[in-house]
Amino acid sequence: MIKPILAINNLSFQYDKRSNHKNIDNISLAVAEGQWIAVIGQNGSGKSTLARIIVGLLEPQTGQIFVEGIEINEATKWKLRQKIGIVFQNPDNQFIGTTVQDDIAFSLENINMPYKEMVKRVDWALELTGMGPFRHHDPSRLSGGQKQRVAIASILALKPSIIVLDEAFVMLDPKSRESLISTLLSLRKTENISIISITHDMNEATAADHILRMKNGRIIKSGTPKEILQEDDELAAPIGEQLRRTLKKRGYQVPDSYMTEDGMVKWLWK
**Shortest Å distance, C-beta 19 to ligand ADP:** 10
Q: How far apart are the C-alpha atoms of 125 and 156, rounded to whole Å? A: 6
- Phi and psi dihedrals of 116, rounded to 5? -60, -45
* Burial environment of residue 69 by CB neighbours within 10 A (0 to 12, 13 to 18, 19 or more): exposed
**Shortest Å distance, C-beta 13 to ligand ADP:** 9
Q: How far is CA 125 from CA 32, 101, 130, 151, in A?
A: 24, 10, 8, 10
Q: Which does 176 bind (CB under 5 to 8 A by kind): ligand ADP, Mg ion, none?
A: none
Q: Which is nearer to Mg ion, 72 or 198 (CB)?
A: 198
* Part in contact with ligand ADP (CB under 6 A); list of ranges 40-48, 97-105, 168-176, 252-260: 40-48
Name the DSSP class of 139: G
Among 22, 47, 147, 210, binds ligand ADP (CB under 6 A): 47
Longest dimension (CA), the chain: 65
Q: Which is nearer to Mg ion, 47 or 244 (CB)?
A: 47
Q: Which is nearer to ligand ADP, 52 or 147 (CB)?
A: 52
The 1-30 contact track toward ligand ADP, x by CB under 6 A, reads --------------x-------x-------
Q: How far apart are the C-alpha atoms of 260 and 203, rounded to whole Å? A: 9
Q: Which is nearer to ligand ADP, 103 or 167 (CB)?
A: 167
Q: How far apart are the C-alpha atoms of 39 and 95, rounded to whole Å? A: 27
* Part in contact with ligand ADP (CB under 6 A); list of ranges 43-51, 112-120, 240-248, 249-257: 43-51
Verify binding: residue 199, ligand ADP, rule CB under 6 A: no
Q: What angle do CA 254, 257, 263 make, to 5 degrees?
A: 75
The 33-62 contact track toward Mg ion, x by CB under 5 A, reads --------------xx--------------
Among 19, 20, 43, 190, binds ligand ADP (CB under 6 A): 43
CB 259 within 8 A of CB 241: yes
- The dihedral built from the CA positions of residue 140, 141, 143 and 147, taken in this order, carries a sign that is negative
- Phi and psi dihedrals of 24, rounded to 5? -125, 120
CB 135 within 8 A of CB 108: no
Verify binding: residue 48, ligand ADP, rule CB under 6 A: yes
Verify binding: residue 199, Mg ion, rule CB under 5 A: no
Q: Which stretch of DSSP H or E encloses residue 101?
A: helix 100-110
Q: Which is nearer to ligand ADP, 21 or 266 (CB)?
A: 21
Give the interface with ligand ADP as residue ranges (CB under 6 A). Answer: 15, 23, 41, 43-49
Give the interface with Mg ion as residue ranges (CB under 5 A). Answer: 47-48
